[in-house]
Amino acid sequence: MRWRFRQISELAVLWAGHRVVPVTLIAFAAIWAAVGLSFSFPRQWFLLTNMVGTLIIFFILLLVQHSQNRDMLALHTKLDELIRSSKAGNHWIAAEKKDADAIEGMRQQHHGQISEGAN
């Protein structure tokens, strides 16, 4: 099930990010407005427009967030492996999981080491 969701998510994100989509959406909006104008924009027309637009935006937001989370996890894994295989201190591995104060302390310590090395 999880594999299927990831496959569908990747396909939807690729489709939503395609360069033809904005042109299609503009054409669809123009047709939607023309049809609405021909019906004198009944109240249900605005309600349907608002509902469909909100659902589409919410769906795309969830797909993009899922894709970004997966990409960020892969990036962190690659960076951890680079740290592990280099001369960098292993305390930098999984720094993103520490709280903000600990990360700031690590950053200050690193900048202090750079300053000492320059002298």
User: How deeply is 79 buried, as exposed, middle or buried, from its count of CB atoms within 10 A (0-12, 13-18, 19+)?
Assistant: middle
The span from the CA of 118 to the CA of 7, in Å, is: 50
Question: What residue spans define the domains of the chain?
Answer: 2-86
Neighbours of 80 (CB within 10 A): 16
pTM to 2 decimals?
A: 0.56
pLDDT at 82: 86
Place of tokens 């520490």: 98
Q: What contacts 53, CB < 8 A, 6 or more positions away?
A: none
pLDDT digits (tens, 9 = 90+) for 54-91: 998 898 888 888 888 888 888 888 888 888 888 777 77
- Tell me, rounded to whole angstroms, the distance of Cα 119 from its chain centroid: 42
